[in-house]
């Protein structure tokens, strides 16, 4: 079991990564300063797989438990489903010391966190992430949100969890495509953190593909440690937290152009990361072998290197609609070297167009 501390003053909390953590979560609830009720928010697939064992373990918390399952996928991150969570919380008479517990991937996590942030001006919130993406990224850092028809995550808040319990055993049942999507964020973090991370991943690619729990423990804790440091220094994304968006400028446009169906978030990040590294070679002096290593890793995990299913012209236009386009200038996270990210505003549009065209050719 590994413990990572997110230092945020009185809002500090622990991320625990390990196996068989449901009883520990129950103990945390029993010992915490909570009123007698808790609401577990999950999705239908996770409910079928884990709600039975999770609720059984949570009985030890001594809290009266209720449960709501939302549909799988992005459409649950809506005002409609947030409303159903409020309805359930009111019906069960939850008060502002009753924890909301997200059991599932980034979708139940973001949605439950948003509901917790707004219910009675802020109820406590626990994360029990069950996807790799949520364990290495979404469950840590306190960004919570729902979607608006005009864009993803447009309605949101910063609301830190009281604790995160990342049970590695749940990753065994994750579909291959979701597992690979989480690995794209891991590779992104490896680029940002440096320190031989890319070599570590390359050297263990077979163990990673086999979902070896020991190597997953190292990966989840190392990613959380990096994110925890960044978030501790910049909770509200005024500065260094932007680094976490490496590869995401292209990725958001590719995802949106694919209607959020053709490519998963992680697949779009894989392609976007290669684009950011190509731009980094041109504008930040990044050595070419880094992009080569990253391509090797992405291929080894079955992630795409190009996104030929979306149209380059339309995707180029979508880039500028990204909510991060400031004064008509796009903000780019580039890499000087692994471990040395930097932020650059306004690269020449022609260079961006050419890089994008190369990314969107049929692979």
Q: How far is CA 275 from CA 214, 244, 248, 352, in A?
A: 31, 15, 10, 9
Query: In the complex with ligand NAD, which residue's Cβ is closer, 43 or 235?
Result: 43
Q: CA 192, CA 221: separation in Å to the nearest integer?
A: 15
Q: Does 248 bind ligand NAD (CB under 6 A)?
A: no
Residue from 141, 161, 338, 341 touching ligand NAD (CB under 6 A): that is 141
Q: CA 21, CA 170: separation in Å to the nearest integer?
A: 10
Q: CA 105, CA 128: separation in Å to the nearest integer?
A: 8
Residue from 67, 98, 127, 130 touching ligand NAD (CB under 6 A): that is 130
Q: How far is CA 162 from CA 99, 139, 198, 217, in A?
A: 9, 11, 31, 21
**Which residues in 88-107 contact ligand NAD (CB under 6 A)?**
104-107
Q: Does 131 bind ligand NAD (CB under 6 A)?
A: yes
Judge whether 289 and 297 are in contact, CB under 8 Å.
no
Is 350 catalytic? The answer is: no
> Tokens 């942030």 identify what position?
117
Of the listed 47, 77, 143, 147, which one is catalytic?
A: 143
Q: Could you tell me the two tokens for 243?
A: 């680094």
Query: In the complex with ligand NAD, which residue's Cβ is closer, 140 or 198?
Result: 140
Q: Does 27 bind ligand NAD (CB under 6 A)?
A: no
Q: Does 247 bind ligand NAD (CB under 6 A)?
A: no
Of the listed 152, 188, 222, 265, which one is catalytic?
A: 265
Judge whether 154 and 323 are in contact, CB under 8 Å.
yes
Q: CA 173, CA 8: separation in Å to the nearest integer?
A: 33
Q: CA 137: distance to chain centroid?
A: 4
Min dist CB 361 to ligand NAD, Å, is 26
Min dist CB 185 to ligand NAD, Å, is 7
Q: Does 77 bind ligand NAD (CB under 6 A)?
A: yes
**Which residues in 156-175 contact ligand NAD (CB under 6 A)?**
170, 173-175
Q: Could you tell me the two tokens for 16?
A: 């625990």
Q: How far is CA 119 from CA 36, 116, 144, 151, 153, in A?
A: 17, 5, 13, 23, 18
Query: In the complex with ligand NAD, which residue's Cβ is closer, 170 or 280?
Result: 170
Judge whether 134 and 104 are in contact, CB under 8 Å.
yes
Min dist CB 310 to ligand NAD, Å, is 19
Of the listed 225, 227, 235, 267, which one is catalytic?
A: 227
DSSP letter (8 states) at residue 141: S
Of the listed 77, 152, 222, 252, which one is catalytic?
A: 252
Judge whether 67 and 55 are in contact, CB under 8 Å.
yes
Q: Does 16 bind ligand NAD (CB under 6 A)?
A: no
Query: In the complex with ligand NAD, which residue's Cβ is closer, 268 or 307?
Result: 268
Q: Does 249 bind ligand NAD (CB under 6 A)?
A: no
Beta pairing, strands 125-129 & 143-148: unpaired
φ, ψ (nearest 5 deg) of residue 158: -105, 120
Residues 259-298, mask of contacts with ligand NAD (x by CB under 6 A):
------x---------------------------------
Query: Interacting stretch for ligand NAD, rule CB under 6 A, among 83-91, 129-137, 286-294, 338-346?
Result: 129-137
Is 222 catalytic? The answer is: no
Binding footprint of ligand NAD on the chain (CB under 6 A):
43, 45-46, 49, 72-74, 77, 104-108, 110, 130-131, 133-134, 137-138, 141, 143, 152-153, 170, 173-175, 178, 181, 265
| Catalytic residue set | 121, 143, 185, 227, 237, 241, 245, 248, 252, 265
């Amino acid at each position: 079991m590994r413990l990572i501390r997110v230092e945020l003053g009185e809002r500090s909390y622990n991320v625990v990564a390990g196996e068989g953590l449901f009883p520990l979560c129950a103990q945390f609830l029993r010992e915490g300063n909570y009123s007698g009720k808790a609401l577990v928010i999950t999705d239908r697939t996770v409910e079928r797989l884990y709600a039975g064992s999770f609720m059984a373990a949570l009985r030890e918390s001594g809290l009266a438990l209720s449960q709501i399952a939302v549909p799988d996928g992005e459409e649950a991150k809506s005002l409609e489903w947030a409303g159903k969570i409020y309805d359930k919380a009111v019906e069960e008479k939850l008060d502002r010391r009753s924890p909301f517990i997200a059991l599932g991937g980034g979708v139940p996590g973001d949605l439950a966190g948003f509901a917790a942030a707004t219910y009675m001006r802020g109820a406590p919130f626990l994360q029990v992430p069950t996807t790799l993406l949520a364990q290495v990224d979404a469950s840590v850092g306190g960004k919570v949100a729902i979607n608006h028809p005009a864009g993803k995550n447009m309605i949101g808040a910063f609301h830190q969890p009281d604790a995160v319990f990342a049970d590695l055993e749940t990753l065994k049942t994750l579909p291959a495509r979701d597992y690979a999507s989480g690995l794209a964020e891991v590779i992104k973090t490896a680029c940002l953190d440096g320190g031989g991370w890319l070599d570590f991943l390359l050297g263990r690619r077979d163990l990673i593909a086999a979902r070896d729990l020991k190597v997953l423990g190292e990966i989840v804790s190392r990613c959380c440690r990096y994110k925890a440091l960044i978030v501790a220094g910049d909770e509200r994304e005024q500065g260094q937290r932007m680094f976490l968006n490496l590869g995401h400028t292209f990725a958001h446009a590719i995802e949106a152009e694919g209607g959020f169906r053709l490519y998963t978030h992680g697949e779009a990040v894989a392609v976007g990361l290669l684009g950011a590294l190509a731009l980094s070679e041109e504008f930040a002096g990044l050595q070419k072998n880094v992009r080569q290593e990253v391509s090797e890793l992405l291929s080894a995990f079955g992630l795409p290197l190009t996104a030929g299913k979306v149209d380059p012209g339309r995707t180029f236009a979508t880039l500028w609609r990204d909510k991060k386009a400031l004064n008509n200038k796009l903000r780019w996270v580039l890499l000087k070297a692994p471990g040395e990210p930097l932020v650059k505003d306004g690269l020449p549009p022609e260079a961006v167009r050419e890089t994008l065209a190369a990314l969107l050719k049929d692979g």
